Chains A and B, each alone.
Chain A
Amino acid sequence: MLSPIASLPLSTLIEKLRSAELRSVDLTTAFMDSIADHDAKLGAFVHLDRDVALQQAAEVDAKRDAGESQGPLAGIPVAVKDVLCMKSQPATCASRMLKGFVPPYDATVIAKLKQAGVVVIGRTNMDEFAMGSSGENSAFGPTRNPWDTERIPGGSSSGSAVAVAARMAPLSLGSDTGGSIRQPAGLCGIVGMKPTYGRVSRYGLIAYASSLDQIGPFATDVTGAALLLEAIAGHDPRDSTSVNKPVPAYSQSVDQPLAGLKIGVPVEHFAEGLAPDVEKAVRAALEVYKSLGAELKEVHLPHSKYAVATYYLIATSEASSNLARYDGVHYGHRAEKFDSLGEMYEASRGEGFGDEVKRRIMLGVFALSAGYADKYYTKALQVRRLIRSDFDAAFGEVNVIAGPVTPTAAFKLGEKTSDPLSMYLSDIYTISANLAGLPGMSIPCGFTAEGLPIGLQLQAAPFEEERLFRAARMYERETDWHTRLPPLAH
């Protein structure tokens, strides 16, 4: 049974904190209790520091008592993916390789959360080094979908999605390299957003594929996601790829509907492989938009058929390089037995990394090798540009592109672990946004006959997060999918 406080909508929690009807310490305790009640079954959290969280909450309460003005998220608990560095807290990326590693610094997003008075309630499980689509590639064991614990919650931000879906945290942060926020948000029936590349600083985000990684929010509703993105977005001099553009007050405009909205429906996203119940729910969502006065227009993304292949060349190439630093020399796992430097590297990396990480490193090393780089890596960069131009052309005609987040609802644990290729295809609709650097989000749009959530993906041109939030909210206020709680939470 979920505590009554933890199942309240975020807006209510914010209001109760603001009116001093509820104290952050009590709110944090309620979510801590929720974690204690449910997480043994779900495996969403990998590290909890109750004392630190309660102390942060007490500080917010004290400031509020002193009459200091605070931001909307002050005192609200937020769970963070184990990929974000936070001073004095372990950061493992759910890998044996980083067991016991404690970063000496805060990621920029963590610093911004602290600034906003947010209570970091715990660190969430994930696919090792953010490589995976099911949450099963974790050294801590898999995370389970709260709607059906025999099923995967999606990945790689599995724990962050489940924490919010099961109301163990009202908000959480994940990272999205090929769909790692949107896909688990879709499969868990919550809201998740991947911002434009460069919108949120990557400083302190442990890199998987640097040119694709972006940090983003999970929330139970669109306004929550808007509030959290508002808190973490912005230029950061520590990240050369972060873009110096003002951050709009998303939460202020989110309730304003978009007049004359033109929605692009990409034919390529309604093709073979899309489960009928998913297609039905997504098409029904499109009808809702139509009823709100939006114009639906077919668009083409002809190069999207190459997206998965392109992604697995670029992402693995960058990963093979980004993960070279885990060599057992300066920090992280070091093998006990070795006779030479070379053996130390081999044994430490062999023992520290899981299978999927090793597979991707090997793919990447191959794609960048002399004699192959032109055929694979360089070619992939060319295709990436074509994929971006598909979107540029499409956004010349429409404001938002809508479609399914995933081809199917959540699959069973173990169902695809022996078939990496079919696993890779679960990101088929989300990957393009990373390759093109676009913002994309997933909002709940229905359930399968088995009661599994289905997500609607909305994408927009770069830096049009505000438009996305408003479009998403238009739909959300007409439906109640986002208010449904998974059976665990009843």
Chain B
Amino acid sequence: MSYDVIIGLEVHVQLQTQTKIFCGCSTMFNPDHPNVQTCPVCLGLPGALPVLNGHGFRLAVKTALGLNCQIAPYTKWDRKQYFYPDLPKGYQISQFDLPFSHDGHVDVEIAADAKSGKAASSRRVRILRAHMEEDAGKNMHDESGSGRDSKVDLNRAGTPLVEIVTQPDLRSSDEARRFLEELKLLLTYLEVSDCNMQEGSLRCDANVNLHVHQPDGSKVATPIVEVKNLNSFRFTEQAIEHEIARQWKWFQETGIKLGDKGGYKSTRGYNPDRGETYILREKEEAADYRYFPDPDLVPVLMSESQVAEIRSEMPEAPAPRRTRFESEYQLTGYDAAVIIDQGREFADYFEGVVKTCKDGKQAANWLTQDVLRETKQREQSITEFAVRPEVLGALLDRINQKQITIKSARDVFGELLTESDQDSAVPAIGRIDEIIAAKGLAIVEDTGAIDSAIAAVLGRNAKAIADFKGGNEKAIGALIGQVMKAVKGADPQTVKEKIITAMSQS
């Protein structure tokens, strides 16, 4: 028997607004100073009323447009009611039957896997809906075991979230991780969320089950498990892996299918230390949240022109940008992906370099190797990197103009970085030529100088000439080296050709 893995994700993304969704309090991550970013509204004090943060709603719309979702012309707010200490009003303001957006998709590129021999592929993950809601606060329980009071921090209460719900379109833990990576890339590109998982800006629930192939060709579903609150991509991947193995074992042992007695949908948590999921709620207790429209808020109407206006403010999303990089700059799919996946600023940097040097391939080589290496070494983001795109572009342009060699360009690049490391200044374009001049790196076009250097070198290397003529082609290397030493900046290819010509004439 074999099986298909069926995965759907629910992702909570924190929008990067300055203030909360329904009040003016700061959304800053501030766990060390609990309850300082609060007011009557987010404390749920009697009489306080919510007012929608219009900027937050626009960010939510951008998010949905990035997910290729439809934007609802009419959306409203509903109260999801349950009691919990981190929920000061006794309800969460969310969206129930009329979410502000629905029916989108994200295309996930799956790289080829050399180990399994799987070819590269693409998976379209359909988005069922994306809705907006407020975050709850945070309960802090006494973990000393001495039974002290639990505490509640409401700094986070009222932070704007978008909940993104996918269709069960993912087929492996790897695809799930890739989807999350692509989602994070998209949201950070759009500058709608920082997706900082340590600070809880991106949280994920995974719905997992198996469709087991039967001998008659039919498929049987195992009970669906929702693994809650996965706060890293790695844990998501691991939790899904564990679930697949656990469900497969369980199915083989019991044969219990979804919907059978004992085959209810259940909710589990993930313990990363043990690498295992554990049961949270055994049976699907149909929690009755008694949703109803929040009478304190008015519905939001979105006209097509308002949506168009928001769309016009949006930067290019990563997926179309990858395609454009391949066609416009003749990059390989691999290079385009490496550059785009570094984030929007890195891709912007790339385009800045190309603008000056007019050579996409050259720029891609440098970015994916030299620039990535140097930024990583310095633990810098691309925006902090001292060599600005127009400077690097100018340097690469000198290679293309055959003014310096690639090797010399690397020297200049290294020198620019060394200098800025010392005085933390941002090098100007002019410095490139100064270094070239000081180090004598300019390619020497003066064939006279090269010819006389060759004559001198050949004159004192009779043995090498003989060796070369005798068939030892390596012997020419030493000759080229000597000429190059004498004439800094000479193009090695030119030198080699000239030496061969000179020797054949002697």
A residues neighboring B (CB under 8 Å) = 84-85, 91, 93, 98, 101, 103-105, 107, 202-207, 209-211, 237-241, 317-318, 320-321, 323-325, 327, 329-331, 341, 345, 365, 368-370, 373, 377
Cβ–Cβ < 8 Å partners of B48 in chain A: 105, 203-204
- A373 pairs with B85, CB closer than 8 A: no
* Cβ-closest 3 pairs across A and B: A324-B90, A211-B295, A210-B295
Contact of B288 among A204, A237, A241, A369 (CB under 8 A): A369
Q: How many chain B residues touch A (Cβ–Cβ < 8 Å)? A: 29
Whether A240 contacts B47 in the complex (CB less than 8 A), given A345-B83, A370-B288, comes out as no
Known interface pairs A103-B47, A203-B49, A324-B89; A317-B152 also in contact (CB < 8 Å): no
CB pair A321 B45 closer than 8 Å: no
Quick check: is B79 within 8 A (CB to CB) of the other chain? yes
The answer to the question of B292 belonging to the interface, with a C-beta cut-off of 8 Å to chain A, is yes
Q: Least Cβ distance of A277 to chain B in Å?
A: 38
Interface string of B31-49 (1 = CB under 8 A from A): 0000000001001111111
- Pick the contact of A241 from B45, B88, B296 — CB < 8 Å? B296
**Contacting pair A330 B286 (CB below 8 A):** no
The reply to whether B295 and A327 form a contact with Cβ atoms under 8 Å apart is: no
CB contacts (< 8 Å) of A317 on chain B: these are: 292
Docked complex Cα distance between A203 and B45 (Å): 11
Contact residue among B49, B52, B290 (Cβ-Cβ distance under 8 Å from A202): B49
The residue from A101, A324, A329, A370 contacting B152, defined by CB atoms under 8 A apart:
A329
- B:1-59 near A, CB below 8 Å: 40, 43-52
Given contacts A240-B52, A321-B91, A368-B290, contact A205 B47 (CB under 8 A): yes
A66 CB to closest chain B CB, in angstroms?
34
B residues sitting closer than 8 Å to A (CB atoms) are 40, 43-52, 79, 81, 83, 85, 88-91, 152, 286, 288, 290-292, 295-298
Task: Answer whether A370 and B40 are a contact pair too, CB < 8 Å, given A202-B49, A317-B292.
Answer: no
Closest to B43 in A: A330
Please measure, in the bound complex, the distance between the C-alpha atom of A240 and the C-alpha atom of B89, giving whole angstroms. Answer: 18
Interchain CB contact under 8 A, A327 and B90 = yes
Nearest-Cβ distance from residue B480 to partner chain A, whole angstroms: 78
CB-based nearest B residue for A202 = B49
On whether A207 and B51 interact (CB within 8 A), knowing A240-B298, A369-B288, the answer reads no
Among A107, A320, A330, A373, which residue has the most Cβ atoms of chain B within 10 A? A330
Least Cβ distance of B494 to chain A in Å?
A: 74
Question: Quick one: given A85-B46, A211-B295, are A329 and B88 in contact (CB under 8 Å)?
Answer: yes
A-B contact count (CB 8 A): 98
Assess the A330–B47 pair: CB atoms within 8 A: no
**B46→A91 contact, CB < 8 A:** yes
A93 / chain B contacts, CB cutoff of 8 Å: 46
Closest to A239 in B: B49
Chain B contacts of A377 at CB under 8 A?
292
A374 vs chain B, min Cβ distance (A): 11
Known: A206-B46, A370-B288. A325 touches B88 (CB 8 A): yes
Interface centre among B44, B79, B292, B297 (most CB of A within 10 A): B292
Q: Which residues of B contact A320 (CB under 8 A)?
A: 290
**Other than the known A321-B292, A345-B83, what 7 A-B pairs have Cβ atoms closer than 8 Å?**
A85-B46, A91-B47, A103-B40, A104-B45, A240-B50, A329-B152, A370-B290
Q: How far is the CA of A210 from the CA of B47 in the complex (A)?
A: 10
B152 to chain A, nearest CB (A): 7
Q: Is the CB of A204 within 8 A of B83?
A: no
Q: How far is the CB of B77 from chain A (nearest CB, A)?
A: 10
> Which residue in B45, B83, B297 is a CB contact (below 8 Å) of A324?
B83
Q: Decide if the interface of chain A is mainly helix, strand, loop or mixed.
A: loop
Which one of A101, A318, A368, A369 contacts B46 once the chains associate, using CB atoms below 8 Å? A101
A321 near B50 with CB under 8 A, answer no
Complexed CA–CA distance, A101 and B89 (Å): 16
**B35: nearest residue on chain A (CB-CB)?**
A330
Instruction: Give bound CA distance, A237 to B40, whole Å.
Output: 15
Closest residue on chain B to residue A104 by CB atoms: B40
A107 to B43, CA, bound (A): 16
Contact at B83–A327, with CB atoms within 8 Å? yes
Whether the Cβ atoms of A204 and B47 lie closer than 8 Å is: yes
Known contacts: A105-B40, A330-B43. The answer to whether A240 contacts B49 by CB under 8 A is: yes
* Chain B residues positioned under 8 Å from A85 (CB to CB): 45-47
CB contact between A329 and one of B85, B286, B291 (< 8 Å): that residue: B85
Q: Contact: A241 with B298, CB < 8 Å?
A: yes
CB distance from A323 to the nearest CB of B (A): 8
Q: Are A341 and B85 in contact (CB under 8 A)?
A: yes
The interface centre, meaning the residue of A85, A93, A321, A373 with most chain B CB atoms within 10 A of its CB, is A321
With A240-B52, A241-B298, A345-B83: A325-B44 Cβ-Cβ less than 8 Å: yes
Q: List 30 A-B contacts (CB under 8 A).
A: A85-B45, A98-B46, A103-B46, A104-B45, A105-B45, A203-B47, A204-B47, A206-B47, A207-B47, A211-B295, A237-B51, A239-B49, A240-B50, A240-B52, A240-B297, A240-B298, A241-B295, A241-B298, A318-B292, A321-B91, A321-B292, A324-B83, A324-B91, A325-B44, A365-B290, A368-B81, A369-B290, A370-B288, A370-B290, A373-B290
* A330 in complex: contacting residue of B152, B291, B296, CB < 8 Å: B152
Q: Please report the C-alpha to C-alpha distance between residue A365 and residue B44 in the assembled complex, in whole angstroms.
A: 20
Q: With A105-B40, A317-B292, A365-B290 as given contacts, are A324 and B81 in contact (CB-CB < 8 Å)?
A: yes
In the complex, which of the residues B45, B49, B81, B288 contacts A103, with contact meaning CB atoms closer than 8 Å? B45
A240 touches B46 (CB 8 A): no
- Which of B40, B48, B81, B291 has the most A CB atoms < 10 Å from its CB? B48
A101 to B45 alpha-carbon distance, docked (Å):
10
Contacts of B91 in A (CB 8 A): 321, 324
A318 to B81, CA, bound (A): 11
Across-interface contacts of A209 in B (CB, < 8 A): 295
What are the residues of chain B within 8 A of A323 when measuring CB–CB? 90
Contacts of A104 in B (CB 8 A): 40, 45
A369 CA to B89 CA, complexed, in Å:
19
- Nearest CB on A from B244, distance (A): 33
**Residues of B with C-beta under 8 A to A98:** 46
